[in-house]
Amino acid sequence: MNVAWITTVDEDDARGETAEAFAQCCNKKTGRAAHILKVHSLNPRAMAEHYTLYRTLVYGPSPLARYQREMIGTVVSALNGCHY
What burial class does residue 48 get, using C-beta atoms within 10 Å of its C-beta: 0-12 exposed, 13-18 middle, 19+ buried?
buried
What gap in Å lies between CA 31 and CA 79, rounded to an integer?
29
C-alpha neighbours within 13 Å on the C-beta side of residue 56: 6
14-69 pLDDT, tens digit each: 999 999 999 999 988 998 998 889 999 999 999 999 999 999 999 999 999 999 99
Please write the tens of the pLDDT for every residue from 54-81: 999 999 999 999 999 999 989 998 999 8
Q: What share of the chain is helix, strand, coil (3-state, %, to 5)?
A: 55, 0, 45
pLDDT-based confidence at residue 3 (cuts at 50, 70, 90): low
